[in-house]
Structure formats: C-alpha cells, structure tokens
Structure 1
C-alpha cells in the first residue's frame, strides 16, 4: 500500500466509522495526520503543516518529545495499568511534581481523565466543603462537556445540555466588547467586580458554593484579566465564604509563559483545575489541586467521587517526564520570551497593516487576533469570511485554531522564531486575500 493509499484509507475509515465532536457529520473532509515533531505535523505522503493550534491547545511540549515517549515505553514495560486504590510510585511522583508548581498551602492532587471531569470534581468538592449548592461562572467560558462542566460553560454549547442543577452565569471582563460601558481596563475591572458582587447578593451569598473561572479564558477569546480583577474576585469570595476555583486546563503549564496563568495576576485560588498541558495530551489525564483546608474536609469524611483510571500509571509517567523536560529545557521561560519578543510584536505589526484585525491580545504562546468587518463599529467578521480566511491559512501550510470571529495563535511552547515567521507570513497572505475579496 502506497503512502497515498494510506491517506485515502485514513479518510475513508474516518468518514465511515468516526463520529466527531462539535461538528455536523455530513460532508466532513478533515486533514490526515500521520506523524509529528515539535510544532510540525504531516500526513502519510509527507505534506507538512505547522501546528499553530497545538491541536486543542494542549500539545504544549510539542509533538513526540523524546523524553515523554521514552517514559511511556518504560512505564508500559514496568506496569501498564493499576487501580486507583493502590499506592503507585509514578502516581505519587506525578502529584509531587504538580504540587511543586503550586502556591504554598496545596499538598494534594485528585487525578481525573481530563479537564471536564476535573471541573466536575472541583465543583463537587466546593459544594461538599461549603454545604452550599450554587456555582457562578461567566458567559464567556468553556469548562468541558460533562454534566456540570458543560452547564458551567457560558457559550452556546451549554444551551442544548442543561441537565445539571445550581448554575448561574455572569459577565466577566472583556474591554474590547465591554458589557459595562467601560473605556479603560481599570473601569472594566471595577465595574465587572461590582456586577459580580450584585449577582452574589441577588442570588443569596449563603447559597453560593463556588465561583468558577478560567484564569485566562481560552476558547472564549484569550481574554487577559484586567488589573485587579482576579484579586478582586478573590476578595469577594473571602468576604462571602465562597470557594474560588480557577480552571487552568488550557492556560496552565507553560501556555502563558508561567507554570500557572494565575501566577501573573496576584491571586491564589482554593482549587486549581488542570489537564492538557500537564503532559501535552500524550495520555489522557487531568486533575484538581486541592488546598489543604478543603482537603482536610475529607480526612474523616468519604469523598464521594472516583474514576477507574484516576492516576493511571502511563499518564503519571508522562506528567513526570513532561514537567522534568520543561524544567531542564527552560520551555516555560521560552514560551514567555517568544511571546514577548516575537509573537506579540509580529501580530501587532499585522494589526497595523490589516484593517480586518480589530484587536490582538495574549501572552506567552496564547494569543488571539479578533477580526472585524469594521474597526469603528467593531462588527464581527461574518462566519463565511472567517471560513475563507481559515481555508487560506491551511492552504499555506499552517493548521489554525479558529473560533467565531477569531484566529487564535497558540503554537506549542517549543515553537521557534523561524516557525513563527513562517506562520505569520501565511496569516499575512491569507488576510490580504480576504480583504481584497471584500
């Protein structure tokens, strides 16, 4: 069978048997990916693409990092699986590595299969710890596709999936499209905090178990919190006895150029939800970092939750190898520097030349270009034109992350300056074509 035959077979089997998430199934024509290395993937024939999506913004360490692959092999040779009701060295080492990156006052990790069930269990812990029920989260958010996580989500995916109780939404800060008639970041922060406090008071603070926030909302647009906002949310939670859960599933482990995104915003939560970048998705895993105060709630009380694959040894091995490699190779610092020195300046230069780009925002390897039909009105670019833009970017050998009227620039943390230049050139050409077409 030739390489062309392998690509054709991959597409045929996919169309015949695979049911894909978040897509209408008819007429799909998805790219074949057969291999990868670093920030590049390729099909069986060898056609290469720069992966500036990091797949689902999770391949932080890059594709096929040799240390992580070696760890999978070594653990599979030693012990492929074991149940959670055991002590396992790799599981303990993984938890210790994660705790070492957390603030003081965190000693325990509850492992899950991914980010959605990590959010589910964080919500459960908050409710049991406080004896309250309601969870507040923002309209511009995504927390996963399981029962409570998808109802905590603020975007359209919540609406056909409302099967969980006790969820209330509020507006978080987003100065470019302010809900609060703000004109400065300081106004946006102050008014968003006032709005949140009024929601807390109106819902009844004594009923609210948790405020659940993405430290930096990702799928919603890479919305960096304005000065004082997260610290202000912390103060409100303290004032009203509410647990603060920060969802670091997408923003954590190098994505913002820090181990945790919240470490740049003068805040310490009570529960930290993680997944994705902790091992770059090489084996499914997620979890909750639990503050010592909340962990103590369950010293003499059974925690009513668990998963067959909690702390799976293959996943644990990849966490250990990933964190060790990111430390020894300076990958997190690299992500910060390349964002500051290369990605940010290049995207802002594109914005200066292209009127379709309304705003550029981000940090580390976590950026978004927001496209508008008119800069003065900030009318979002129509979906048809963004679809054309995405197709033109793909045609130039770059795999983009596109959502609504945005293209997110989210390569692996190991991306090089030359690779950024190649991707930016593809964006430049594609935007020019869409602008010319009108």
Structure 2
C-alpha cells in the first residue's frame, strides 16, 4: 500500500499549501494521479487568469470551453448572490422563478417545438436522459453515434462517445453503434470535395441503419459540431440529410449542443447554421458560462406529450437548482444585452479566420485550420504530406511554450483548439494568436 504523502503546512507559502493539499487529497480526472501538477489559480476576470504566483494568463481555453461570457461577469455574479440570499436551494418538484425563467429562455433559443426543458447538472447527465427519453419513446434500445465524438463520461454517455476515451470504459457498447461522420481532411470515404464527403457519409449512415435494423434503433445522436474530437464543421446538407434519414426510418434525432451552443459557433446554437430541428437537444457549459453547473434536454412536443399521461422514469436531486437556473437567466440576458453571439461571429470572420490562416501558411506543422465563430482547431502534423499526427512530445513542447509566454491553450489529441471567451476583445484575441504563432515553432522543429 502506498505511503500517504505528508506535508508541513506551516513551512509553506499559501500557494504551496494549496498545491500540496490538492495533491494529497484531490483525485484528478483523466489523469495518472502521481503525474499531475496542477497550476494554482488565484483569480480570474474577463479573458484573463491570475495564478497564485501573480503571473497572468490569457485564457484561450475558456477552461473546458464553457466560460463563453468570460470570467466574473458582474451581472451574473450579482444574480447568483441575489438568488442565494432569496432561495438557495429547492427540490425539483417545486416551481421557482429562476427555473421557469431559465426554461423559457432555453425554449426561446431552441428551434421548432422544443418547448419543454428537463434540467440536469451537466452535459453527461443530459446525454443520459436524452437517450433514456428516446428509448422510452421508441421502445427500442440502440443508439447510433459517430466516431470522433464526445458526449460525456457517465456510463451511457461514454459508450456513445466515439473517441478513444471510450475504450477503458466500454462494456460491450451497451446498445450503441458507431459510424463515420464527414471529415474531409482525414476522409475515410476517399472524398475530394465537401460535396462528395457529405454524400458518401450519408450513404454510409443509411447503410449502417439498414444493416443494424431500423426496428432496433431508438436514435441517432450527433454533436452539431464535434468539439473535443476536432471541431469539424459538417458540410452543407449533412445534418439535414441525417434529419431526413431519421424521418424515413422512424428514428429520434438527438443533437448535442453542450460545447458548440450558446454563442460558441457564432450563433445561439450551432445547429442554427444548418436549418435543422432535432427531436431532443442537449445543452450545458455556456448556458451558465460555467459559473454554476447546469445542463439539460430541450424536448419536442411529441416526446413531451408521450410522457403526458405516463411518468417519466428519471430524475435528479438538483434538477432545476435555483442558483444554477439564476445563473442561466443572467447569462442569457447578458448575452442578449451585450450582443455576445454577434461578437463571436465577428471574431470568427474578422480575427480568427484570417489570423489562423496566416499562421497555417507560416508553419508546416499546421496541417489544417478549421472552425467558426470562437470555435477553432489547428490540426498539427509531423508530416504535411502523410498528415501523420504530431507526436505527444512535440505537442507538449508547443503547449509549454505557449504557457511560458502567458497563454492558456486548449489541446486535445494532436490539436490545439482556439476557444476563448466569445466576447474576448479583438486586441486580446490577436495577442493570443501572436503567442500561438511563436509557440508553434516547437511543433515545426519536430518535422524531420
């Protein structure tokens, strides 16, 4: 049995004590526990973080892509404090102004007749309940989802996830089937154009549906724009084609807006770019800018009515928690009042699109730049011809160089994602791109 780590708290600075206590008692996600070395963050404001040693970092990660309105927005902080003073917590069976107000605002943003909202504590639970609703509604079990996707880390959500994080947790797929989605840069369909990729991906999905048996399938679940798997904006017509296939074969369509929604893609929802209405829509992250955990499922009328006279077999102790819902109300109101969705769209067209294209021209390690709004990825390669992904060591060196220069990047797989607050100033955005430009020399050095 390992010997417990002991710390002399009295002999340390405050920040050293925080770190020592963290290492002694906090179990970190997705990590080998003896290898973690977390940065101690003391405070944050806007697009900037301040570490315990006083060094400031420009947050190009929005943490885990959720601080869409930046850190510490005073109106949202005030709304949370006011709600805590009035009604800090409440069982989900009761109604409250915060919960009804948050549900109404989500319904206003959601397309079509997605007018009912079931609140969860985050995105993974939203996946769990959307899948449960689809299975109950159809009386079928299978869920189809794409490779290169992420839908959460609870037991059902992780099996629906299509990337390698699924492997250690997959218990025989638990009724899930994966298929290939469109991704022209690394096409499995040997496509030469976006149009070919769209057509072939839809044909592949239909073949999968037929071979699996439509009568066994409850739903197709997709991220409107896949996030941590690579920020792959689907080609025109793809999501509409998936909607048509679901209608043809009687399947529920679930769209995951957890990361791509609430301004991130330069629209209220990423699906707004594709003129498609799902039957169920999951959300989380940006709905509160991460200030208080909240997620949920927006539900179409036909599925809501299915549970009109029969109980829905699910619930959560903190569903519709007043503090979280107050944060959602304030966040959505701030986004409307300050035009934050429009700011994200402008950042994409005026700053990130052209700025990242220039960076790609200067660095052979950047195989492709792709994205929209405040949602971008640099696909880093060790060989521009074969598109072989960059090595983990070279990626770590690049991320390290960025941090050393005062930039907090987001990395996933062989990529660096540019995902700052949706209201980051153009000046700060360009500062971040300049730092990233310099840091990418470490990636270039890894090319033989």
1:21 maps to: 29
Q: Which residue of structure 2 aligns with residue 92 of structure 1?
A: 100
* Structure 1 position 434, deviation (Å): 3.7
Of 306, 313, 324, 2:322 maps to 313
The alpha carbon displacement at 1:7 in A equals 1.6
In structure 2, the residue matched to 1:408 is 417
- Tell me which moved more, 311-320 or 157-166: 157-166
Tell me the equivalent position of 1:327: 336
Q: CA deviation at 1:70?
A: 0.2
Matches of 2:23 and 2:436, distance apart in 1: 29
The superposition leaves residues 362-412 of structure 1 with CA deviations (integer Å, 9 ceiling, x where unpaired) of 001000001111111111111111111111111110111111110000001
1:236 aligns with 2:245: yes
Q: Which residue of 2 aligns with 1:67?
A: 75
Local SS of the residue matching 1:19: coil
What's 2:155 paired with? 147
Q: Corresponding residue for 2:301?
A: 292
Q: Distance in 2 between matches of 1:104 and 1:226?
A: 22
Say if 1:7 and 1:43, in contact at 8 Å, map to a contact too. no
2:377 aligned with 1:368: yes
Question: In the alignment, is the contact (CA less than 8 A) between 1:234 and 1:269 conserved in 2?
Answer: yes
2:236 counterpart (200, 219, 227): 227
Segment drifting more, 326-335 vs 100-109 = 100-109
The structural deviation recorded for 1:45 is 3.3
- Deviation for aligned residue 1:305: 0.4
TM-score, normalisation: structure 2:
0.96
Query: What residue in structure 2 maps to residue 266 of structure 1?
Result: 275
Provide the TM-score with structure 1 as the length reference: 0.98
CA RMSD for the aligned pairs? 1.3
Match of 2:126 among 99, 118, 122: 118
Alignment of 1:95-106 (within 5 A): 95-106=103-114
> Structure 1 regions of 5+ residues with no counterpart?
none
Counterpart Cα distance in 1 of 2:335 and 2:17 = 36
Structure-1 separation of matches of 2:114 and 2:67: 26
Indicate yes or no: 2:59 matched with 1:45: no
- Structure 1 contact 216–222 (Cα < 8 Å) conserved: yes
| Aligned twin of 1:420 | 429
Looking at structure 2, the residues matched to 424 and 82 of structure 1 have their Cα atoms a distance apart, in angstroms, of 44
The partner residue of 2:287 within 275, 278, 293 is: 278
Unaligned stretches of 5+ residues in structure 2:
1-8
**Are the aligned partners of 2:280 and 2:298 in contact in 1 as well (CA < 8 Å)?**
yes
- The runs of at least 4 aligned residues of structure 1 exceeding 4 Å deviation read none
Q: For this pair of structures, how many residues does the alignment match?
A: 437
